[in-house]
């Protein structure tokens, strides 16, 4: 029988809570310490003028198997809902139906050969089972080889440019491909896309995980920033939190890797260098609560010379709520001058865009507005990224780490949070 360990999990996002849940089930004494004032990380909800909703949008695909297993275990499977959704494409001043073969054939801004190449690219990507080869391939050149220069300019260039800026030509094809495949596989047929959501939002899962952890004797505490991992002879012996020392023999960090060097300066030079080399994209996500629907689409990509956004997500066309909710993300490196602008400027910019998308839109449609900001929204996954990730099991005995970079090549989702959280727990539980 394994010895009962004293475990500190740093960070109470879905990954941290999933890890803590598994460690608690394994019989260990677990404390989850969260620096912020709430649990949930990027899945946390807030009061949006009387509407409880997530700060950042989430949706579920039919291949999110780790999430389905967790929902079943937590007796939350009855909260999972599916809906047939539709997609739009706002291209140079006009809104087009998108996402189906007939929509592609009717789209007037690509020739037939480009359309056929695009469709074949999606079919190929959907069939990939092992991303190892594409891990070593640069994404933009890979896309151009498949769909041609014109197809790339119309369908991909603006999306990548407005998310990754100077990093756009140094991305892994595996990362792009996995995103395409995830959504492509979440279709009932080539004509019907079906996506899911949790009734009550991701907060339902977050709170149930917390309740299960605490019911088994674990602790989940907020306002508890871990500033230092304490070691003795290269082995974890505790963590520093404010003026207190918490004794423990195992620490699992699920916070952004960029915070780890200050917390664990005893890592090797190689580990610290690997962490330093990983870049992140930030996001400012504008939310609008509206009297009326903006469009009939859940997801809308945009490629318009007058707009500096990659897309619009009309969440209530997936999950119907009392009012209509639209998310509009601005992705950019946190070092970009625009990232530091006041929230009101981002909101005003979005209002101008939605008026172009729907000419009937007027200011009195807006019931509330908000902007959420996070500087570690997306890892820049470069070619050969598998080799660039530091090991979850570090050189410090008893210290393990991961963040959303370890979802690679898969997309950010609660399902991937659950899977990586389980991997962390397994590694920590099996260590000597």
Express as a percent the part of the chain with pLDDT over 70.
99
Residue 1 pLDDT > 90: no
In a domain, 140, yes or no: no
Q: Where does the pLDDT of residue 331 fall: very low under 50, low under 70, confident under 90, or very high at 90 and above? A: very high
Cα gap 362→182, rounded to integer Å: 36
Residue 315 pLDDT > 90: yes
Sheet holding 244-247, edge to edge: 226-232, 235-241, 244-247
Q: Where does the pLDDT of residue 432 fall: very low under 50, low under 70, confident under 90, or very high at 90 and above? A: low
Mean pLDDT in residue range 290-317: 97
Q: Name the average pLDDT for the chain.
A: 96
In a domain, 418, yes or no: yes
Tell me if residue 30 falls in helix, strand or coil.
Answer: strand
What's the predicted TM-score (pTM) here? 0.95
In a domain, 258, yes or no: yes
In a domain, 364, yes or no: no
User: What integer pLDDT is reported at residue 119 of this predicted model?
Assistant: 96
The CATH number of residue 236's host domain is: 3.50.50.60
In a domain, 141, yes or no: no
User: What integer pLDDT is reported at residue 227 of this predicted model?
Assistant: 97
How distant, in Å, are the alpha carbons of 3, 131, 346, 408 from that of 179? 41, 12, 27, 10
Cα gap 319→236, rounded to integer Å: 45
User: What integer pLDDT is reported at residue 190 of this predicted model?
Assistant: 85
In a domain, 167, yes or no: no
- Which has the higher per-residue pLDDT, 418 or 4? 418
In a domain, 35, yes or no: yes
Mean pLDDT in residue range 141-163: 98
Beta strand 250-253 with 6-10 is parallel
Q: Select from 210, 209, 232 the least CA-distant residue to 219.
A: 210
- The two structure tokens encoding residue 389: 């990730």
Residue 419 pLDDT > 60: yes
Q: Measured between alpha carbons, how far apart are the two ends of the chain, in Å? A: 13
Q: Select from 7, 22, 3 the least CA-distant residue to 425.
A: 22
Segment 35-60, tens digit of pLDDT:
999 999 999 999 999 999 999 999 99
User: What integer pLDDT is reported at residue 188 of this predicted model?
Assistant: 87
CB neighbourhood size of 364 (10 A): 8
Quick one: DSSP state of residue 195?
E
Domain count across the chain: 1
In a domain, 209, yes or no: yes
Identify the domain containing residue 209 by its residue range.
6-58+201-277+382-430
Whether residue 409 has a cis bond before it, omega within 30° of 0: yes
User: What integer pLDDT is reported at residue 44 of this predicted model?
Assistant: 95
Classify 49 in phi/psi space as left (phi over 0), alpha (psi -120 to 50) or beta: left
């Amino acid at each position: 029988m394994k010895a009962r360990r004293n475990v500190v999990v740093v960070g109470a996002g879905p990954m941290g809570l999933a890890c803590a849940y598994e460690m608690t089930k394994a019989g260990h004494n677990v404390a989850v310490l969260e620096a912020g004032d709430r649990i949930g990380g990027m899945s946390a909800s807030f009061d949006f003028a009387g509407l409880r909703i997530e700060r950042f949008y989430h949706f579920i695909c039919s291949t999110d198997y780790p999430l389905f297993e967790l929902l079943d275990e937590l007796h939350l499977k009855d909260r999972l809902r599916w809906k047939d959704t539709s997609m739009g494409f706002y291209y140079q001043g006009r809104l087009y139906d998108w996402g189906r073969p007939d929509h592609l054939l009717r789209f007037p801004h690509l020739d037939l050969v480009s359309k056929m190449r695009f469709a074949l690219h999606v079919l190929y990507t959907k069939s990939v089972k092992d991303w190892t080869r594409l891990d070593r391939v640069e994404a933009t050149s890979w896309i151009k080889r498949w769909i041609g220069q014109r197809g790339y300019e119309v369908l991909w260039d603006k999306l990548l440019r407005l998310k990754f800026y100077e990093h756009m030509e140094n991305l892994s094809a595996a990362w792009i491909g996995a995103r395409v495949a995830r959504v492509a596989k979440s279709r009932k047929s080539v004509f019907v896309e079906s996506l899911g959501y949790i009734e009550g939002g991701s907060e339902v899962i977050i709170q149930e995980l917390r309740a299960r952890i605490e019911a088994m004797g674990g602790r989940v505490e907020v306002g508890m920033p871990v500033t230092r991992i304490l070691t003795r002879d290269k082995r974890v012996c505790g963590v520093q939190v404010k003026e207190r020392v918490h004794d423990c023999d195992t620490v699992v960090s699920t916070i952004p890797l960029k915070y780890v060097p200050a917390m664990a300066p005893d890592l090797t030079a190689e580990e610290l260098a690997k962490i330093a080399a990983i870049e992140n994209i930030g996001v400012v996500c504008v939310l609008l609560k509206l009297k009326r629907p903006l469009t009939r689409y859940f997801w809308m990509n945009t490629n318009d010379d007058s707009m500096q956004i990659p897309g619009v997500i009309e969440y209530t066309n997936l999950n119907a709520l009392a009012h209509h909710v639209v998310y509009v993300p601005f992705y950019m490196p946190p070092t970009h001058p625009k990232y530091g602008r006041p929230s009101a400027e981002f909101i005003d910019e979005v209002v101008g865009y939605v008026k172009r998308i729907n000419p009937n839109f007027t200011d009195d449609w807006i019931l509330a507005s908000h902007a959420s900001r996070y500087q570690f929204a997306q890892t820049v996954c470069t070619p050969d990224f598998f080799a660039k990730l530091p090991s979850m099991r570090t050189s410090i005995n008893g210290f393990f780490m991961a963040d959303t970079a370890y979802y690679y090549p898969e997309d950010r989702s609660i399902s991937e949070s659950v899977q990586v959280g389980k991997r962390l727990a397994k590694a920590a539980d099996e260590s000597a």
